Amino acid sequence: MKKGSKAAEPDTNGIASGAPRPDARRKYDPEQTKRNILDVATQEFSAMGLTGARVDAIAERTNTTKRMLYYYFGSKEGLYQAVLEKVYGDIRALEQDLHVSELDPVEGMRALVEFTFDYHDRQRDFVRLVTIENIHGAKYVEQVKSFKGRNVTVIHTIEDLLSRGIAAGLFRSDVDAIDLHLMISSLCFHRVGNRHTFGTAFGRDPSHPRLRARHRAMIVDAVLRFVRKED
């Protein structure tokens, strides 16, 4: 499946080319090894937490051995941090694709909320890892360089939407961008992160498609009502 996806890459016909072939089935491919470990680790940490995760369990589901895990990531905690870094990097990449500045304030706000909702709804691992980090007082994410201040992008987006909405007489002027971000996050995060206790308490699974659609609409509605200027 993975192999041969690039038909353009010619076979060397027995005459070895001097340069290394990047797509060849190499025995040593550190990048792939690292990625493989990271992917498995993401699942394990997300499922079991930092202390609950077992290095052996991660290694077992990997193409390599436990030893390589230490070779590349130094320690269990180092691996956990690498997972955090990757996961936070992923969401940032996606956020860039959202061009709300091209939409009018109301539609832009709706798009932002829907994106946030969908992201959390789909990326349960992300939600769980953030939860786990909070159990640990965020002390690991603090050491992740790419984290500090990374949410500035979202805040800028929100500030842009708010100021354009205010200028257009659509939005109220007393809303703080970070507070609003917290509100949107809360609404999108909680129903995913706490869906188990919620399900047990009310016999309702928030991830059921019908409920999901309703929640999505409800949250968009709530946010728009909150920012809307009343006359």
Site residues (vs DNA, CB under 7 A): 20, 26-30, 33, 53-56, 64-68, 70-72, 74-77
As a whole number of angstroms, the longest Cα–Cα distance in the chain is: 78
Q: Which of the choices a copy of itself, DNA, none does residue 107 contact, using the CB cut-off of 5 to 8 A by kind?
A: none
The per-residue b/e assignment along 165-180, b for 16 or more CB within 10 angstroms, e otherwise, is: bbeeebbeeeeebeeb
The letter for the amino acid at 166 is I
CA distances (Å), origin 70, targets 1, 52, 87, 90? 30, 18, 20, 24
Candidate ranges 32-40, 92-100, 108-116, 131-139; the one touching a copy of itself (CB under 8 A):
131-139
Q: Does 28 bind a copy of itself (CB under 8 A)?
A: no
Residue 83 structure tokens: 């997972």
Residues 169-188 that bind a copy of itself (CB under 8 A): 176, 178-179, 182-183, 185-187
Q: Does 149 bind a copy of itself (CB under 8 A)?
A: yes
CB 183, min distance to DNA, A: 37
Q: Which of the choices a copy of itself, DNA, none does residue 120 contact, using the CB cut-off of 5 to 8 A by kind?
A: none
Q: Which of the choices DNA, a copy of itself, none does residue 77 contact, using the CB cut-off of 5 to 8 A by kind?
A: DNA
Q: How many residues bind a copy of itself (CB under 8 A)?
A: 61
- With CA atoms as reference, report the closest residue to 228 among 180, 172, 183, 177: 172
Nearest CB to a copy of itself, comparing residues 40 and 130: 130
- Residue 216: count other Cβ atoms within 10 Å of its Cβ: 16
Candidate ranges 23-31, 66-74, 89-97, 134-142; the one touching a copy of itself (CB under 8 A):
134-142
Nearest CB to DNA, comparing residues 3 and 225: 3
Q: Which of the choices DNA, a copy of itself, none does residue 49 contact, using the CB cut-off of 5 to 8 A by kind?
A: a copy of itself
Which DSSP string do the residues of 34-98 spell out, in sequence order?
HHHHHHHHHHHHHHHHHHH--HHHHHHTSSS-HHHHHHHHSSHHHHHHHHHHHHHHHHHHHHHT-
Nearest CB to a copy of itself, comparing residues 36 and 151: 151
Contact 129, 138 (CB under 8 A): no
Helix/strand/coil percentages in the chain, nearest 5? 65, 0, 30
Residue 95: exposure state from Cβ atoms within 10 A (0-12, 13-18, ≥19): middle
Q: Which of the choices a copy of itself, DNA, none does residue 64 contact, using the CB cut-off of 5 to 8 A by kind?
A: DNA
Provide the binding-site residues for a copy of itself, judged by CB under 8 A.
Answer: 1, 4, 18-20, 48-52, 128, 130-138, 141-142, 147-151, 155, 176, 178-179, 182-183, 185-187, 189-191, 193-204, 206, 214-215, 218-219, 221-222, 225-226, 228
